[in-house]
Amino acid sequence: MESSGNLANDPLWREMLETGFLGDFPVSYRDVVDSTNVIAMDMARSGAPTGTVVVAGSQTSGKGRLGRKWLSPPGSGLYFSIILRPRLALDDLSRITLAAGVAVCQALEATTGLSPRLKWPNDLLLNGKKFCGILTETAGISSPDSIPVIVGIGMNVLNAKSSMPADLQGKVTSLFEEGETVYGKGVLLEECVARVLGQVDVLEKGDFNAIIREFDRRDAIKGKHCYWLTPAGAVVSGVSLGVDERGVLHIRDNQGRVSEVISGDINQKKP
Ligand code: BTN
């Protein structure tokens, strides 16, 4: 089934294009960019206010985690980046990644009734297939008080299965495919931004445990067999024990050894 966005049915998106605001959030919308994360980082360095959102209709060089590309065709997807300057210790900035994943899940639960699950650190899945990814990037550290952090979110909203690359079919999905509904991108965007800012607030108040609890409730692989592709390229196989109070993932191999995962990639199929 093919589906495309329809502005007439998406008043918030239209309002964003007309006013440069989505609710209370200033939005910089561009039809085509290389990467909203790159634009947002440049804007942050030039002093754009915290909470500014950069939204694109499509990206020519959308960035994914671990140097991957994020396919960003026009029309079907939501591609945006939020400028943050969190009042957090440097060592705690990585917590934003888990907080953003929880926030986007909550936003989608509230607006679509769907129940996304999280694959550490911040892939969102529906029926075991990825439809949303988050890339958090930090600027060079000059003044720890005001380090810009960019949270970039890519979401397959209206993509039809037939339009997805053949090698990804079975691995990726969209809200449209899972919910059989043409969701308004404006509502999704506004709710996601509000929830991300809300969860960053929770972090700033020191309640990372609340975020870990919310992550744990939605953990897609806890108790399941998985493979950890380490940054050095080794593959560790075992059962995920979930995340601890620091946000570190634990994997127990079949000899009972437990690995602490702070980077790399988790897969349920052998990489
Ligand atoms: C991943 O799952 O690998 C993360 C994907 C993040 C993609 C989004 S799209 C908006 C923002 N701009 C980018 O270049 N990347 C992020």
Q: Do 61 and 161 reside in the same domain of the chain?
A: yes
142 Cα: distance to centroid of ligand 1 (angstroms): 25
Identify the domain boundary among 178, 193, 216: 216
Same domain, 146 and 34: yes
- Name the least confident of 7-11, 32-36, 57-61, 108-112: 7-11
Same-domain check for residues 112 and 194: yes
With a pLDDT cut of 70, the percent of the chain lying above it is 95
Enumerate the β-bridge partners of residue 54.
28, 81
Nearest Cα to 9, choosing from 189, 191, 182?
Answer: 182
Quickly state the pLDDT bin for 3 (edges 50, 70, 90). very low
CATH number of the domain encompassing residue 88: 3.30.930.10
Express each pLDDT in 200-242 by its tens digit.
999 999 999 999 999 999 999 999 999 999 999 999 999 999 9
Q: Domain count of the chain?
A: 2
pLDDT tens per residue, range 72-88: 999 899 999 999 999 99
Instruction: Work out the average pLDDT over 93-115.
Output: 96
Same domain, 10 and 63: yes
DSSP string, 158-199: S--GGGS-GGGBTTB--HHHHH-S---HHHHHHHHHHHHHHH
Residues 77 and 185 in one domain: yes
Residues 198 and 81 in one domain: yes
240 and 146 inside one domain: no
Range of the domain at 60: 4-216
Q: What single letter denotes the amino acid at residue 117?
A: R
Determine the residue of 38, 79, 120, 229 to mutate for testing ligand 1's pocket, defined as the one with the most ligand atoms within 8 A of the Cβ atom: 79
Residues 18 and 133 in one domain: yes
Asked if residue 258 and residue 136 are part of one domain, the reply reads no
The string of pLDDT tens digits covering residues 127-155 is 999 999 999 999 865 555 678 999 999 99
122 contacts 133 by C-beta, under 8 angstroms: yes
Q: How far apart, in whole angstroms, are the C-alpha atoms of residue 132 and residue 145?
A: 30
Domain boundary among 216, 236, 257: 216
Entry pTM:
0.94
| Mutation choice for ligand 1 from 38, 70, 151, CB with most ligand atoms inside 8 A | 70
Q: Are residues 212 and 107 in the same domain?
A: yes
- Backbone torsions φ then ψ of 270, nearest 5 degrees: -60, 125
Cα separation, 188 vs 168, whole angstroms: 24
At residue 8, the pLDDT reads 56
Q: Which atom of ligand 1 is nearest to the CA of 123?
A: 2
Residues 91 and 129 placed together within one structural domain of the fold: yes
Q: What CATH number is attached to the domain comprising 245?
A: 2.30.30.100
Q: How much is the mean pLDDT over the chain?
A: 92
Confidence of residue 9 (pLDDT cuts 50, 70, 90): confident
30 lines ligand 1 (CB under 6 A): no
Q: Among the three residues 173, 188, 216, which one is the final residue of a domain in this structure?
A: 216
229 and 139, same structural domain?
A: no
- Does 152 sit in the ligand 1 pocket, CB within 6 Å? yes
In short, whether 65's Cβ falls inside 6 Å of ligand 1 is: yes
